[in-house]
Amino acid sequence: MKIGVLGAGVMGSGIAQVCALAGDDVACYDVAPAALDEARAHVTSGRFGLDNAVARGKVTRVQADAALARITFTASFEAAAASNIVIEAVPERLELKVRVFRDLDRVAPPGTILASNTSGLPIAAFAAATDRPDRVIGWHWASPAPVMKLAEIVVTPETSDATIATVVDTATRCGKHPIVVKDNPMQWGFVANRVYFAMVREAQRVVDEGLATREQVDQLMTDCFRWPSGPFGMVAGAGSGWT
């Protein structure tokens, strides 16, 4: 299978790395040559890149080298669009993503599935920008993509069963835990981020009321619930890419 990834930032490069390790050929696209250079560095020598995966014994050197060889870092939109699945990972701006989906629909082969890594923007808006709403779907990843198991698969009433099955199968091959949820254009965040931000809001209320510091809240949550990070640590990590 060929996967196109649009956007070569921390998320896009991580998605490209995961898909390549799963055995897929990947075209990782960005408009900025510097971003493509940084993406290659993230994939090879970044904190969650292939070199460190080899050092930790997660993959062999042969597997890492083969995965890197399967990734093409490209400035050609058409090359990325010519894929079985295209995963959009451009900045989180509705008008930009709608324009990307409109352009993808024009360029990509008719059978290509168009997926968005949006954290919570309405998938229905992207589907409406295309003539293939049955092949438009949300595939929300978590940062860092090579580590986190999240695969929040977001479907509209028009998303076809075949599209859902293909994306769920691909996410499973990538070592993720796909959970299919429904799009709700009236509410930002799908499921994971709606619950996440409710937790962050309450944690901030505790701090504002003077009951505890941010550091204390984080420690209490990790000690009590065995979270890998407290709410404020999660906010910081999501913003920095856990680098």
Active site residues: 119, 140, 152, 193
How far apart CA 114 and CA 117 sit, in angstroms, is 10
How open is the CA angle 23-10-38, to the nearest 5 degrees?
Answer: 90
Cβ atoms of residues 166 and 136 within 8 Å? no
Contacts 24+ apart (CB under 8 A), 168-171: 170/1, 170/3, 170/19, 170/22, 170/24, 170/85, 171/139
| Cα distances (angstroms) measured from residue 15 to each of 48, 117, 143 | 12, 10, 10
CA atoms within 13 A on the CB side of 42: 26
Maximum Cα–Cα distance across the chain: 57
Q: Structure tokens of 85?
A: 């699945």
Dihedrals phi, psi of 177, to nearest 5 degrees: -115, 85
